[in-house]
Amino acid sequence: MASFKDIINSDKPVLIDFFASWCGPCKMLAPVIQEIKNEQVEETRVLKIDIDKNQELSHKLNVKGLPELMIYKKGKLLWRESGVQTKHSINSQIESAKKV
């Protein structure tokens, strides 16, 4: 299995959704993330990370609010935002990341 570092070093954008099963806003965002994953399967990797099952990584990345979204490309954090985001907003960040 690839490490987190290997995954974020990808040449294509990696959208990461830090969530928790008990988080209401995370449940609201889940269908949006799934739509993006389905629509961008070739251009963007989408990863959902449960903070309760990945506490060490969540702590290392200083995840404070949920849901927390991040976009990495070639190992660099290009965008980070906490709270529910619109599909349009997330897609525009992904499009910007593709140009980097």
Alpha carbon distance 38, 56 (integer Å):
29
Q: Which are the catalytic amino acids? A: 23, 26
Question: Around 18, how many Cα atoms within 13 Å sit in the side-chain half-sphere?
Answer: 23
Element (H, E) at 45: strand 45-50
Alpha carbon distance 68, 48 (integer Å):
10
Residue 37 φ then ψ, to 5°:
-60, -45
